[in-house]
Amino acid sequence: MTVGNVDSKKFWEIADSKLGFFGAQFIREIIVKSEGVYVYTNEGKKILDFTSGQMSCLVGHCHPEINKVIAETSSTLDHTLSGMVSPPVIELAEKLTSLLPDGLDRATFLSTGGESNEYAIKLAKCVTGKFEVVGLSLSWHGMTAAANACTYQAGRTGHGPMTPGSLVLPSPNAYRSIFRHADGSYDWKTELDYGWSLIDAQSTGSLAAVIIEPVLSSGGMLILPDGYLKAMKEHCQKRGMLLIVDEAQTGVGRCGSMFAFETMDVVPDILCLSKTLGNGLPLSAVITSKEIDDKGREGGFLFYTTHVNDPIPAAVGSKVLEIVVRDNLVANSKARGEQFAAGLKELSNSFKAIGDIRQMGLMIGLEIVTDRESKTSDPEKASLLAKSMMKYGLNANLIAVKAFGGVFRMAPPISITESEINEALVIIKKAFEEVYF
């Protein structure tokens, strides 16, 4: 079965009979090529990719400089003993930490976001000598044991108990929260303080860490309110806990700043990166302070894996950082995100099914509701919209899992141009006209 000459019927017969289920329904398109902000099917269809693959291809698909780095590095280095260190790893560690504030001084490189969160949680437990970990109710941190135990948005059913000590806070949702000031505005502080009163009631006195995303992507692109992350760190410090910030999707320019936490007046104790750092290759990072890293070493911390500090992904990560800084893509992310949000807001004047628009850089949430008064989520219409957009050449959402509801979660490559944003807006408008007229 060669690319460009794929028998579609045979392809799907094999896919349906030989591939295992992991939670998603496959889009019935056969992708044979990707380039820039587009992917292409075996039938020659050109599709704007507003999910950056799985929210990962930060600087676009098949970037020629990244392709070159992969080819050149793999011709001399492929994989090393985990106890060996190669120049690409040192280069990435130096380059990454130079972009981060003091207190994020030492980096370890792994393969996936779930793995980096697993490392961070284990390190926090080792350093604090405690075992309870707090997550948010609409969080997504991965599918491995400890990370999955802190994932509350979906995936908790069907396999017995989660890791002991997994506790949950309500997610901040300005659009839907019942916590309100007298004037109707969102009272996130009372909500957060009340949540912590419940945590304290549940805790056995062994609170180790909070793990949190600056934007809860799987929760519906929920952006932490101004002051929220700082208040969360104060709650952690009061209880002798560490703050783990998971920037799998928000890091490396995605949110209009190099790292999302930079705009929130907080330095986390442990920072986790993945997806965007490797531009689609399996690369993640855990960055922490010298003090925490040294305490882990003294306490017998162990996370010895097969692909820790692999050279090929590290070389790609260095090139991604170089491209983002050199090509001023952080500023582009901010500008193109504002352009896209403005276009969606204009569209909302004509379509009352658009309940809320949430945007931080090029992370955009578009919530579809039955009506704006009840705010009832409408996943059925959202699904029809997604199919219509795909028909017209736009992949604009990860809603194949029912738990994601009626929120479009969009994150195109941050290298996207003004004209490509406009191209997407034309398709989105056409889809709304098709579904609602």
CATH number of the domain bearing residue 370: 3.90.1150.10
| Tens of pLDDT, residues 190-239 | 999 999 999 999 999 999 999 999 999 999 999 999 999 999 999 999 99
2 located within any domain: no
41 and 147 belong to one structural domain: no
Same-domain status, 155 and 106: yes
pLDDT in tens, 47-63: 999 999 999 999 999 99
Q: Which of 294, 326, 358 is the last residue of a domain?
A: 326
Give the pLDDT of residue 76. Answer: 96
| 400 has a pLDDT exceeding 60 | no
> Per mean pLDDT, which range of 51-55, 322-326, 395-399 is the poorest?
395-399
Domain annotation covers residue 262: yes
Q: What's the CA gap between 53 and 342, in Å, rounded?
A: 24
Residue 423 pLDDT class (50, 70, 90 cuts): very high
Percent residues over pLDDT 70 in the chain: 97
CATH of the domain at 148: 3.40.640.10
- 322 lies in the same domain as 342: no
Q: What mean pLDDT, rounded, does the chain reach?
A: 95
Q: What are phi and psi of 290, to 5 degrees?
A: -60, -40
Identify the band that residue 9 occupies on the pLDDT scale cut at 50, 70 and 90.
very high
Residues 167-177, mean pLDDT to the nearest whole number: 96
Q: Which domain holds residue 395?
A: 8-59+329-436
Structural domain contains residue 1: no
Write down which residue in 300, 326, 352 finishes a domain: 326
Residues 305 and 355 in one domain: no
Please give the positions annotated as active site: 140, 213, 246, 249, 275, 409
355 and 259 in a common domain: no
Q: Are residue 240 and residue 371 in the same domain, yes or no? A: no
Does residue 82 sit within a domain? yes
Q: Are residues 165 and 207 in the same domain?
A: yes
- pLDDT number for residue 404: 64
43 and 150 in a single domain? The answer is no
Indicate whether 98 and 212 sit together in one domain.
yes
List pLDDT tens digits, range 291-307. 999 999 999 999 999 99
